[in-house]
Structure 1
Amino acid sequence: MFQIFSLPLTVPETPAFDREVFQHNIKPLLEGIAYDDTYTMNTQSGTQWDGFRHVGHIDSKCFYNGATSDDFVGDAPNHRCSIHYWAVHGIAGRGILLDYYHYAQTHNKAYDPYTTHSIGLSELQACATSQGLDLRPETEGGDIRVGDILLVRSGFIEKYGELSSEQRHAAATRSHDDLCFAGLAREPAIRDWLHDCYFAAVAGDSPTFEAWPVPEMDHLHQSLLALWGCPIGEMWDLEKLAAKCRARGKWTFFMTSAPANMPGGVGSHANATVIL
């Protein structure tokens, strides 16, 4: 079976972090006979990939492979770390889903995905054990293979679907300091595990992947993107996939993604598909 990860481009209705609302317009070419349409969008406002131009290493102000902001903007910009290189080659590999939200709900660990709920390594390991997975790298006898694509369901999409339009707007338009989302913790154990597993990419269903807000600018983004060259997917719709995986008792699958072929691009809609 095929499963598509992307939310409709109109979701979220109001993006967080002051990002632009998606706009769709239909343009008549010949009234009643032919039409075009136009999109106006922020590539970071919905289902997305964070590319290597999105976040750099804060202290050094370097991006992946030593790129700097002068490569992106200014008098002589170039294509270093551009998203279009991903489009040329595509992203394909074995995906592995950790349905942490379901694990938490069924093990008396209920939480609100719109709060700063940090998911530590011990919790991910417990979730994996409940799914019959061993989170150690394959070289250590575990189930994680070099090049796997990690997907983590934190429950954001389910919670979003339960909110009214007014509640969604209020949640997204909180001040930057008041925005809160569940996600991976920034503890050393998580960083070591992510690094040692050599994931080709990571993705989740929340707007930030990591728990938000970030204390003392200690972003997991800078480790993944700037230091390790690991793409981050955010706001992926993992609901139907999680249900199918639970029904089959199978948590790995083949997945592909076709980012936008935009030279100089920072991020992209994911266009991701899984084959179970």
Structure 2
Amino acid sequence: MPQSNGQTAPTQWDPEATEFPSRKNLPPIPGAPPEAAWFWGPNDSLGRLNLLTTKRIKAAVRLIETGELIPLDLPLDTPAVPSFGREPFQHSIKEVQAGIVYDDLYTLNTQSGSQWDGFGHFAHLASKTFYNGATSADILASSSSKCSIHHWATHGIAGRGILLDYHRYASQTNRTYDPFRHLAITLSDLAACGRAQGIDIRPGSAGGDIKIGDILFVRSGFVERYYASSPAEREQDAARPSHESAWAGVAQEEDMLNWLHDAYFAAVVGDAPTFEAWPSCKEYHLHEYLLALWGVPIGEMWDLERLARVCVQERRWVFFVNSAPAN
């Protein structure tokens, strides 16, 4: 159980614990927004990556059976036209010594291609605070390392991944949709998808198959749709103004919030630009809860196509996963 100093909130959670508070039972933190779960220490920048302990990683390694490597990152220049008006990737070759030595030069907005949303990316809107109480001044200060993603890189990300291939499930059950348009994938949708794959998506504490520290993958079909589109269609969709942008993703709803919190995922990953359904149909965003309040990293625009095919082939949707954020 989390350690406590006898006050309202525990001073620091034990990453090795086998039980953590549910969302409805989160103890309040003086001065923090409601539902903040900043219990990994006053200077923590890992959030729920703390759950990736050596014990859990060793258990995840035992999932390796075939030894097949499945890269999950899109090329740096994909999409060629990034969404939300962000700068496109630029690559040039620098000649250091003619005919002998050459260097690569990159100009990269880290929201282009496959990415991790760091804790400095999205604040809790009402309080304008980032994870563990960081402020915009902390994010912009060159002398501050609060919410810096280098903490994730030096810690490492590895563990037990679990794929919910909603796009495949929807296709098999005649629930056709366009991943380039708004669709809110509800918890009941994911539960039905899980059942079709033989997975009970409830947390282990409730009798399900989700383990503390799992890394959740949700396939919406964005990458498949992108590669099936013409260059003109890709550019047209990406060039939509921010207020017109729309993608399929995880729903903003109370059931989803409770599940994402109570399952104690170390991180969540999707194949679309926003992970959650865009635009939000509520007055809040899942980004606020996941990043700012709970410290759950969000992976976006990951290439899950080959992974999905291998999962079907092997008839298992649980696997060992490793990721190396930019240091």
The TM-score, its normalising length taken from structure 2, stands at 0.78
Q: Is the partner of 2:146 in helix, strand or coil?
A: coil
1:67-99, CA deviations, whole angstroms, 9 ceiling, x for partnerless residues? 00111225x741111100001111011000000
Structure 1 residue corresponding to 2:311, chosen from 229, 245, 260: 245
Show the counterpart of 1:34.
101
CA distance in 2, matches of 1:73, 1:223: 22
Q: Which amino acid aligns with 1:29?
A: V
| Higher Cα radius of gyration | 2
Superposed, 1:72-87 pairs within 5 Å as 72-73=139-140, 77-87=143-153
Structure 1 residue corresponding to 2:233, chosen from 167, 170, 173: 167
CA shift, 1:141, in A, is: 1.3
The alignment status of 1:206 with 2:272, answered yes or no, reads: yes
CA distance in 2, matches of 1:239, 1:186: 25
CA distance in 1, matches of 2:206, 2:140: 44
CA distance in 1, matches of 2:83, 2:155: 30
Show the counterpart of 1:59.
126
The alignment status of 1:97 with 2:174, answered yes or no, reads: no
Q: Is the partner of 1:236 in helix, strand or coil?
A: coil
Query: Does structure 2 retain, via aligned residues, the 8 Å contact 1:14–1:21?
Result: yes
Show the counterpart of 1:133.
199
CA shift, 1:108, in A, is: 1.1
Q: Is the partner of 1:183 in helix, strand or coil?
A: strand
CA shift, 1:45, in A, is: 1.3
CA distance in 1, matches of 2:143, 2:119: 15
Percentage identity across paired residues of the two chains: 57
The TM-score, its normalising length taken from structure 1, stands at 0.93
1:96-138, CA deviations, whole angstroms, 9 ceiling, x for partnerless residues? 0000000000101110001111000000000000000000111
CA shift, 1:59, in A, is: 0.2
Structure 2 residue corresponding to 1:23, chosen from 90, 100, 109: 90
CA distance in 2, matches of 1:227, 1:241: 30
CA distance in 1, matches of 2:283, 2:150: 28
CA distance in 2, matches of 1:72, 1:194: 26
Query: Does structure 1 retain, via aligned residues, the 8 Å contact 2:252–2:282?
Result: no
CA shift, 1:217, in A, is: 4.4
The alignment status of 1:229 with 2:287, answered yes or no, reads: no
Query: Does structure 2 retain, via aligned residues, the 8 Å contact 1:154–1:204?
Result: yes
Structure 2 residue corresponding to 1:11, chosen from 56, 71, 78: 78
Q: Which runs of 5+ in 1 are unaligned?
A: 262-276
CA distance in 2, matches of 1:33, 1:55: 44
CA shift, 1:243, in A, is: 0.3
Q: Which runs of 5+ in 2 are unaligned?
A: 1-67
Superposed, 1:118-157 pairs within 5 Å as 118-157=184-223
CA distance in 1, matches of 2:309, 2:169: 13
Q: Is the partner of 2:140 in helix, strand or coil?
A: coil
CA distance in 2, matches of 1:237, 1:216: 28
The alignment status of 1:69 with 2:69, answered yes or no, reads: no
Q: Is the partner of 2:178 in helix, strand or coil?
A: coil
Displaced runs of 4 or more, over 3 A: none
CA distance in 2, matches of 1:220, 1:85: 23
Show the counterpart of 2:258.
192
CA distance in 1, matches of 2:273, 2:298: 11
Report the number of matched residues: 260
Give the number of the structure with larger relative contact order, counting CA–CA contacts within 8 Å between residues 6 or more apart: 1
CA distance in 1, matches of 2:235, 2:285: 25
Query: Does structure 2 retain, via aligned residues, the 8 Å contact 1:70–1:77?
Result: no
Structure with the bigger percentage of strand: 1
Show the counterpart of 1:266.
none
1:210-268, CA deviations, whole angstroms, 9 ceiling, x for partnerless residues? 0001245411000000000000000000000000001111100111111111xxxxxxx
CA distance in 2, matches of 1:133, 1:72: 39
